[in-house]
């Protein structure tokens, strides 16, 4: 019978730090996967990818953090009801058999002055990645990337990882973090894992737990819209209007269907976006060699589903 690797659980900064010091003394490199918990296969694939690809010689130690970060939630968002499933998360991580430590910091330790969601009332140090945080997701969630950049900076300083793993599902987040690593001179190598999807294409996400069975059936609408656009791009179309119209048409058709069926919820498209992967500027025409990030957000009832597809580019 194979014995499972024990996972160390650190619930405060000093204990994590003193363990990390031991790793440094032993010259052991650390891989780090920050999460907000409520883990699913999408998260786990990030861990497996590190394990398989990097191999135990590169980063033999894997640390996962679970922290629902209040600073990235707007006052009208779902901080209070965000799924928290710690014992299940720990069990899933144990089943991976490649995670060495889990970091579970408390809100009071990460934000010693408290963290009111009203930004005017916040105190202390915050981190902004300007010019990469106001487009796409940032347009709908204006302080989201300030919250993400701040907590990721704090976590990087505490964990001191050699390499970090983020998911393509949050494409703009990957670009913001890459810029943060470079501009703040963190000696960290960043890796992006491809989006883990359900059998029907829906991007795995902790928030999918909010969906009722009827809503779940229609939650693939965004992915279908994005895929219709990508299909057109793959056949040679490069013009924004023609491309995006393919997506709008499909999403509008399904939106009407949901309304007519009177299912007790609505589909509401928040945005579709087609941007330059470096500048995040909206594109009128895609240049073959530069490619584009195609992304969007769709409300399925009150649940906001996001997704993206890369058109001839990487993150």
Ligand X SMILES: Nc1ncnc2c1ncn2[C@@H]1O[C@H](COP(=O)(O)OP(=O)(O)OP(=O)(O)O)[C@@H](O)[C@H]1O
Ligand Y SMILES: CC(C)(CO)[C@@H](O)C(=O)[O-]
Provide the binding-site residues for ligand X, judged by CB under 6 A. 35-36, 42-43, 45-46, 166-167, 169-170, 193, 195-196, 203-207
Which of 38, 45, 54, 72 binds ligand BAL (CB under 6 A)? It is 72
Contact 226, 296 (CB under 8 A): yes
Which of 173, 195, 273, 303 binds ligand Y (CB under 6 A)? It is 173
Q: What 3-state class would DSSP assign to 101?
A: strand
195 binds, among ligand X, ligand BAL, ligand Y, none (CB under 5 to 8 A by kind): ligand X
How far apart are the C-alpha atoms of 290 and 176, rounded to whole Å? 19
Question: Is 43 labeled as catalytic in the residue annotation?
Answer: yes
Q: Which of 40, 43, 58, 185 is catalytic?
A: 43
Among positions 166-225, residues that touch ligand BAL (CB under 6 A) are 170
Q: Which residue shows structure tokens 């981190």?
A: 127
- Give whichever of 36 and 263 is closer to ligand BAL, judged by the CB atom: 36
196 binds, among ligand BAL, ligand Y, ligand X, none (CB under 5 to 8 A by kind): ligand X
Contact 135, 292 (CB under 8 A): no
- Give whichever of 32 and 243 is closer to ligand X, judged by the CB atom: 32
Stretch of 78-86, 144-152, 237-245, 272-280 contacting ligand Y, by CB under 6 A: 144-152
36 counts as binding ligand Y under rule CB under 6 A: yes
B/e letters for 149-183, b = 16+ CB within 10 Å, e = fewer, are bbbbbbbbebbbbbbbbbbbbbbbbbbbbbbbbee
Q: Is 107 exposed, middle or buried (0-12, 13-18, 19+ CB in 10 A)?
A: middle
Name the percent of the chain in helix, strand, coil, to the closest 5: 45, 20, 40
How far apart are the C-alpha atoms of 293 and 275, rounded to whole Å? 5
151 binds, among ligand X, ligand BAL, ligand Y, none (CB under 5 to 8 A by kind): ligand Y
The closest alpha carbon to 306, from 167, 212, 205, 201, belongs to 205
Smallest distance, ligand X to C-beta of residue 241, A? 30
Smallest distance, ligand X to C-beta of residue 214, A? 19
**In which order are the strands placed within the sheet that holds 292-300?**
267-275, 292-300, 303-311
- Give whichever of 170 and 307 is closer to ligand BAL, judged by the CB atom: 170
176 counts as binding ligand Y under rule CB under 6 A: no
Residues catalogued as catalytic: 43
Binding positions for ligand BAL, rule: CB under 6 A: 36, 72, 170
């Amino acid at each position: 019978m194979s014995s499972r690797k024990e996972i160390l659980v650190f619930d405060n900064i000093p204990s994590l730090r003193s363990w990390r010091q031991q790793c440094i003394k032993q010259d052991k490199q650390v891989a780090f996967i920050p999460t907000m918990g409520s883990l699913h296969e999408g998260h786990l694939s990030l861990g497996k990818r590190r394990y398989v690809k990097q191999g135990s010689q590169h980063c033999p130690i894997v640390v996962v953090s679970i922290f629902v970060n209040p600073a990235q939630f707007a006052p009208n968002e779902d901080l209070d009801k965000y799924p928290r499933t710690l014992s299940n998360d720990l069990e899933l991580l144990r089943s991976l058999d490649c995670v060495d430590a889990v970091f579970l910091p408390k809100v009071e330790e990460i934000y010693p002055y408290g963290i009111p969601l009203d930004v005017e009332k916040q105190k202390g140090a915050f981190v902004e990645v300007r010019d990469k945080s106001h487009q796409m997701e940032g347009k709908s969630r204006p302080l989201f990337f300030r919250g993400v950049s701040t907590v990721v900076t704090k976590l990087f300083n505490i964990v001191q990882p050699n390499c970090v793993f983020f998911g393509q599902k949050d494409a703009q987040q990957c670009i913001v973090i890459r810029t943060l690593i470079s501009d703040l001179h963190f000696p960290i190598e960043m890796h992006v894992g491809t989006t883990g999807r359900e059998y029907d294409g829906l991007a795995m996400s902790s928030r999918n737990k909010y969906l009722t069975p009827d809503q779940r059936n229609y939650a693939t609408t965004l992915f279908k819209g994005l895929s219709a656009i990508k299909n057109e791009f793959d056949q040679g179309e490069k013009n924004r209007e023609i491309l995006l119209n393919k997506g709008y048409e499909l999403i509008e058709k399904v939106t009407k269907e949901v309304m007519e069926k009177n299912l007790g919820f609505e589909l509401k498209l928040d945005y579709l976006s087609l941007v330059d992967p470096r500048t995040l500027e909206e594109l009128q025409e895609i240049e073959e060699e530069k490619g584009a990030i195609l992304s969007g957000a769709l409300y399925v009832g009150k649940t906001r589903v996001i997704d993206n597809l890369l058109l001839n580019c990487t993150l």
